[in-house]
Amino acid sequence: LVQQETLLAVRCMTMFKNVFGSGFLVRTAHVILTWVITLILFLHDTELRKQEETGQLVQPVLFVLLVLVSVLLYFAVSLMDPGFILSDDSDLQFTLGVTEEQQDMIPPSTKSLRQRRCGHCLLQQPMRSKHCQTCQHCVRRYDHHCPWIENCVGEKNHRWFVLYLGERSLWLRTNATLLTVAVLVALLSLIVLLLLGSHLYLVSLNTTTWEFMSRHRISYLKHCGADENPFDRGTFHNLWGFFCLWGTVVWEQVYFREGSDQV
């Protein structure tokens, strides 16, 4: 009884770690994406919105229930114990998860094959179990480690994982067009943000993309050191001059004033 309570406590700690561990951001992103798309479907001029406004609530209610079940299955699969082997037991039957009658039905030669030790956690591994390098545990009937749920798929959660995939398949088919547009917008937004960041960086240095990429071929820069920029007047002044000062700048004056010995 004490041993079972210890195992229960360890499983609770493992679940707590799963909730607030490295998968926290992944799970948060999953939930946000799911509900944002769902809200868009109801807030914009979509078929679900039209049915809701006309009082035809069967499909909207079924859709919301589908989303709820999908999210619940996601958290169930990602947070539950996939079948971690947490300790050795003196009773081999408990370790293998079989009853006394089932134990007697196993041929002796098979028993000897199943009694093997993990090279990482040094625990006895039942057949079809494998050590997961990411979770740092041996998992019963190991299938794979899924980065989207940040958990292993094993003996205890494999069926729920399959059900979750089935729910997601229905959800994706329902939102295929909107999801495709969302992905394209996200990719384009990422490209724009990267361009914005790179240009702000160059502006803060008072240089241009051409000067940054081809300074070794530009006559007035190729003699400068790798970190030397004759137009750099400090981050604040560079940004202030770029955004707040209008008019044409005589860069020759800046160039020769900052380094009169340069030619």
- Residue found by looking up tokens 């997961």 in the block: 132
Is 135 a known active-site residue?
Answer: no
93: left (phi over 0), alpha (psi -120 to 50) or beta: alpha
Q: What burial class does residue 254 get, using C-beta atoms within 10 Å of its C-beta: 0-12 exposed, 13-18 middle, 19+ buried?
A: middle
Of 12, 121, 135, 146, which is the active-site residue?
146
Distance CA 132, CA 123 (A): 13
Task: Output the CA torsion sign for 95, 97, 98, 99.
Answer: positive
At what angle are helices 58-79 and 24-43 packed, to 10 degrees?
A: 180
Active-site annotation, residues: 146
